[in-house]
Amino acid sequence: MKHFFHIVFLGLFLLGGLACNQPVQDQPVATANGEEGPRLLLTAAGVQAIRAMEGTPVIDRALHQLQTKAESAMQQKPVVPVPKDPGGGFTHEKHKANYQDALATATWYLLDGNEAAKTYCKELLLAYAQLYPTLPLHPQAKKQAPGKLFWQVLNEEVALVHFIQAYDAIAADLTAEEKQQIEEGLLLPMVVFIRDETSKTFNSIHNHGMWAVAGVGMTGLALQKAELVEQALYGTDPSGNCGFFKQIESLFSPDGYYAEGPYYQRYALMPLVLLAQALEKNQPERKVFAFRDGVILKAIETTVQMSTSGGAFFPINDAIKSKTIQTPELGIALPVWFANGGKNQALISLMESNGNLMLTDAVVGLDATPAPFQRQSVVLQDGPKGQQGGIAVLREKNAPTGLEVLFKYGTHGMGHGHFDQLGLLVYDDGRELLSDYGAARFLNVPQKEGGRYLAENKLYAQKTIAHNTLVVDQMPQHAGKVKVADAAHPWQVFEYFSDGIQAVAAADTTAYPGVALQRTVALVQAEQHTFLIDIYQARSAQTHTYDLPFHYHTQRIHLSPEVPQATALLQPLGEAQGYQYLWHLGTGEPSFTAAFTLLDQQRFFTVHTQSDQAFAVTQAAIGANDPLQNLRRENALIYRSEAQNQTWVSVMAAHGHYDAVTERTEQAYSPIANVQFQPDYAAAHLNIRIALTDGSAYTVTAYQGNSALPTKNRPFFSIEIN
């Protein structure tokens, strides 16, 4: 006899949905087509359509990968060990592989009818149904909410998302007894643990909460339990500020930008899209892809746009740099964008690049001819209402592998945020020129704190000095307090786009009380030259120590003025706030100008800086106070001054060519002779002159935002050659 799991909640119906405390009867969930068999992402109709598309390269590759994975799993009997290891350990990795293998074999059974694949998946799920009810909390649980199979409940939630899809694929061909064992021994106990025993995570507005509601909601749809679906969509906390729709409202801006940054947007994308697609299949009347003006599809597009031309996600906040658009999350999300966003053929080429296509009903139609995909310059609003700053990505036009500039001036990023407002990253051909450290973590490497974040993540990687933005008095922004940073944000002063000019400016008065900051970033393509212009201004009634760092890990081949190098004894650059992890390699005499040249594979890049206050150049390198070598060995130049008001104007020029094979070098020296400007802190505009070595010059006019708005004659940003 089928067992139904009941929980009663007290509450009231609310217009437009269900309150978090609304009682719901346990009744079947209606499906869109009423057919028997799988209810979630891959239906019988989808299987038939996919088989009809065989011969299409992107489909054939996905079928081959799925078959290989399924057959590899089936070569041995299922092994379901008692959990004991942290991230990266044997039991952790085995349970992770098992839930992936369960889904792979179940999907292969649907597509191929392979009975051995169904049997393997069934035996695996039955083994977990026997084990799961006996498990206490994981023995390696730390501060994070613990799981049972895994050291943190997040991994448990991911497992449920996979297990329910696997079960849904084979349930129609299981006996009533087998279904009862799996549902009552594994799926529903996981729901109870995630929803009730870790309810704080389930009702949280966070990527962990997104995974939790996806697992419970998909279980409700597959098992036809309306109660679980409503709880996933609207939460179980009486506040009403919880559940799937609240997650989407709170975590994503109107442009689809996710509060924690692209690395975690990529991670949150999978549960967001999986539950949305399952809802669209089973309850199309909810019109989930129309919610908030189609923000789910915008989130998929934004995830792609937040990657470099080489495919790597911009590593702001707690990001692991190895993540690229080849990630499995986009293998799921891109077809959903294709299916529900007008079947843009350029997405097919993007899916081919991804190489991890998940075969669901969303792939129907991928047998069309692919079109080229081109990343665009974007300015993305941040915050739930789009009023908390933003992120700008400026890309060199007509140069798909040219310069890309990321300018961060949005929300802090919650617990995964870094103190890096008004920060800058620069790439060429997808490779870092001016770099961001990302996260101090060896993901799933057990020797490094079980794969968790290392102490150096908070002590260095999150600190302001680890980023390409101004540090005041050697302190992190917002005094390093996350709650304070989350409550504040910069604001956009202007964005200005015209032929040859892409410029964005943002300002902040909260990062350092009593100090007003403004940064203007412009990518200019004029005549034969492409320049990145960076104007950083600080204003205060008090004198402060200003440190402006430029982090890089490519080869530096020139620096002026010269800086004497420490050769016998190294000392840390400071004692705290991240400075203790930087070796002090040497400091030069104060000057009003500086320039350095980087060689990145085949191109040279020179950064010229002019300031209205003298500053000293310090060479620094990561590695001090790091006996376990938890941090990467990278370099930085730090411009330090003592001032009240200060303006730095830096201009980066790409130039020349270097060929190590033919031993040929062209234009190794910068085309810029010097950069000059006359500061006027009362004026509305700043005038800059960029003199070139050929005798020509550019005059740049940039709005400073402290006076009346520009007119047609004096726009936000302009450049003239003279």
In the residue annotation, 416 being an active-site residue is answered as yes
- Beta-strand runs (E) in 387-510: 390-395, 403-409, 423-428, 431-434, 471-472, 491-498, 501-508
* CB distance 538 to 517 below 8 Å: yes
- The catalytically annotated residue of 138, 206, 208, 416 is 416
User: Catalytic: which of 109, 263, 264, 267?
Assistant: 264
Expressed in percent and rounded to 5, the helix, strand and coil fractions of the chain are: 35, 25, 40
Instruction: Look up 264 and say whether it is catalytic.
Output: yes
Give kind and range of the element (H or E) at residue 67.
helix 57-73
> Could you identify the residue written with the tokens 């996710």?
258
- Within 111-226, strands assigned E span none
- d(CA 132, CA 128) in angstroms, rounded, equals 6
Beta strands in 446-528 (DSSP E): 471-472, 491-498, 501-508, 515-526
Pairwise CA distance, residues 648 & 642, whole Å: 13
DSSP annotation of 195 reads: I
Query: Taking the CA atoms of the chain, what radius of gyration do you get in angstroms?
Result: 28
Looking at the DSSP assignment, which residues form a beta bridge with residue 618? 587, 638
Q: Are 593 and 647 in contact (CB under 8 A)?
A: no
Q: What do you get for the CA distance between the two ends of the chain, in Å?
A: 87
Q: Scan for tokens 């002090």, then name that residue.
A: 584
Q: H or E element: which one contains 348?
A: helix 346-354
Measured CA to CA, the distance from residue 21 to residue 24 in angstroms comes to 9
Helix axes 90-112, 115-131, angle to 10 degrees: 140
- Measured CA angle at 94 (ends 89, 97), to 5 deg: 125
Q: Which phi-psi region, left, alpha or beta, contains residue 412 (left: φ > 0; alpha: ψ -120 to 50)?
A: alpha
CA atoms within 13 A on the CB side of 388: 22
Helix (H) or strand (E) holding 167: helix 153-170
Of residues 80, 67, 165, the one with CA closest to residue 116: 67
Give the whole-angstrom CA distance, residue 75 versus residue 96: 18
Rounded distance between C-alpha atoms, residue 153 and residue 202, angstroms: 10
Q: Provide the token pair at 100.
A: 């992936």
Residue positions annotated with a catalytic role: 264, 416
